[in-house]
Chain A
Amino acid sequence: AQTVTQSQPEMSVQEAETVTLSCTYDTSESDYYLFWYKQPPSRQMILVIRQEAYKQQNATENRFSVNFQKAAKSFSLKISDSQLGDAAMYFCAYRSALQTNAGNNRKLIWGLGTSLAVNP
């Protein structure tokens, strides 16, 4: 079974600085998707960035970028120029890309999250 591990329960960063959140995962599959979701105090789950495992290029969305190391099964999130609004829980999630009718491969498997504080 696939697992996702976020080893940093809490992190903090100064406003305008850069912070990197870690995520590792375990899978025997070769094709899958990885995601970072943000959950601010409003509790809304917001998709931040996604990465397809077959793509070697790291995904980037504005100030958010990932460092995807497939062999190491590592998927870290870098937030540049941190803003106060970036303060939130960040969850790493995995989803299989297997195309079967078994169904269960479509669920998201989640890490336990990293709470990010942004200090002014």
Chain B
Amino acid sequence: DSGVTQTPKHLITATGQRVTLRCSPRSGDLSVYWYQQSLDQGLQFLIQYYNGEERAKGNILERFSAQQFPDLHSELNLSSLELGDSALYFCASSLTTGGYEQYFGPGTRLTVT
């Protein structure tokens, strides 16, 4: 158990819908990262937050957004969902924004039908 929690574990929704994925980092970790794992593109970095502020952006679509709250949990919002958004979404956390070890949550499996 990495100490990073993600909810829900599974999510099935229809195209055009909007969903929110939630992540709670390890106790004491200030930095949260979101990754997408799909069959055709492997693991891709989406976005990073540190202590409530956005710090880095990767291959994140404009339909996706994220935030980190004062209690350090983070939410990834996916809207206008398409079939291609079906993937495993991971959250990871690290101690500081420079902390090089990232610990991963169990992931949320999103299926868009």
- A82 to B92 CA separation, bound complex (whole angstroms): 28
Across the A-B interface, how many residue pairs have beta carbons closer than 8 Å? 63
* Minimum CB distance partner of A109 in chain B: B45
B interface residue count range (under 10 / 10 to 19 / 20 to 34 / 35 or more): 20 to 34
The B contact surface, by secondary structure, is strand
Q: CB-CB < 8 A to A110: which residues of B?
A: 42-44
- A37 to B90 CA separation, bound complex (whole angstroms): 13
Q: Are B55 and A44 in touch, CB under 8 angstroms?
A: no
* Minimum CB distance partner of A103 in chain B: B56
Q: Are B2 and A108 in touch, CB under 8 angstroms?
A: no
A interface residue count range (under 10 / 10 to 19 / 20 to 34 / 35 or more): 20 to 34
Asked, given contacts A44-B104, A47-B103, whether A107 binds B98 with beta carbons under 8 Å apart, the answer is no
Asked, given contacts A44-B106, A91-B43, whether A103 binds B55 with beta carbons under 8 Å apart, the answer is yes
* Minimum CB distance partner of B99 in chain A: A106
Within residues 18 to 75 of chain A, which ones have a CB less than 8 A from any CB in chain B? 33, 37, 42-47, 50
Q: CB-CB < 8 A to B109: which residues of A?
A: 43
Q: CB-CB < 8 A to B106: which residues of A?
A: 42-44
